[in-house]
Structure 1
Amino acid sequence: MNQPIQNKSAATQSAPALRLKDKIGRVLMTIVVLLTLAAFADGVHRMVLAGPDRIWVETWRTFGYVVFVGLFALLALRPRNMPALWELVMGHKLAVSIYGLWLGSEILDAAIATKIDLVLVSLIALAWVLCRGWMAWSVWRAADPIEELLH
């Protein structure tokens, strides 16, 4: 009997190999959560030091970190159950990084933040691959949310 040739795609990899990759991806996302919590702590410090001309923007940015902590935590906990979330956070981090590179090194905050965001987008992209984040779209297709809205 002829046996089909099997490759090492996600469909044919052993369950232990997939679990290990998934675990590594989740650990990477946990690191991203911790790094974002550190940014939040820095934001609180900046809020305390901010004058009246900067308090609103520092507060807005600091509370934004809380939102990203939550988004990253959701991806770490349920990496294949959040359609579009991986792409949304990667797109944001990539856009901010590209803009920071475009601004150049003359703006100190931008130079530092760009380096940090490049690390974050790299970690998120690697976690997306390891956790097979693209599979979250199958949850979307299975649920057919547009059809549910119409009925």
Structure 2
Amino acid sequence: MATLTATTAQPNRWFQVGRGLLVLAALTAAAAGAGAIGEVAGAGPEALIAHTWRMYGLFLCAGLFAVLAWRPDTHATVWMLLIANKAALTVTALAYLATAAVPGAAETAAWDGGLTAVLVLAFVTTRRRVSA
């Protein structure tokens, strides 16, 4: 008589790499948000809202990256919104860098450009959850 055995599909290595990239993105965004608390505390009235908005955005991204790390093979709309947002920030920073001396443009282009690449790589690597 044949024996039936149940097997649980294991996530493949690339899926785990993508998930790891998302965990790293979440931790980095959370650390940046925590670092921005001091900027908010030290901001004058003319920049207080902008610094607060940025801090909340960093914490929001950290949370969304964590959601995607938890279930990277779902939430396609969240993926697209995050990738589009980071790509738009990168393109905008590059445009500011090319046309005027805007403080922070180079750093924004580098960080958000790198994050865009990480998100695209994580998206691609998490499309196929299990090994064939």
The alignment-based identity, stated in percent, is 30
The amino acid of 1:82's aligned partner reads: H
Work out whether 1:119 is the aligned partner of 2:114: yes
Unaligned runs of 5+ in 2: 1-8
The amino acid of 1:116's aligned partner reads: W
Match of 2:32 among 34, 39, 54: 39
- Name which of structure 1's ranges 23-32 and 57-66 shifts more when overlaid on structure 2: 57-66
Unaligned runs of 5+ in 1: 1-14, 136-151
Partner of 2:96: 103
* Runs of 4+ displaced beyond 2 Å: none
Task: Measure, in 2, the Cα distance between the counterparts of 1:22 and 1:44.
Answer: 34
Q: TM-score, normalised by structure 2?
A: 0.83
Task: Measure, in 2, the Cα distance between the counterparts of 1:20 and 1:31.
Answer: 16
Task: Measure, in 2, the Cα distance between the counterparts of 1:83 and 1:97.
Answer: 21
Partner of 1:26: 19
Offset from partner CA, 1:97-136 (integer Å, 9 cap, x none): 0010011162231211110001101111100011018x9x
- Flag the structure with more relative contact order, 1 or 2, with Cα contacts below 8 A and sequence separation at least 6: 2
Q: TM-score, normalised by structure 1?
A: 0.73
Number of residue pairs matched?
A: 119
Displacement of 1:83 after TM fit? Answer: 2.5
Offset from partner CA, 1:47-72 (integer Å, 9 cap, x none): 01101111111111111111111111
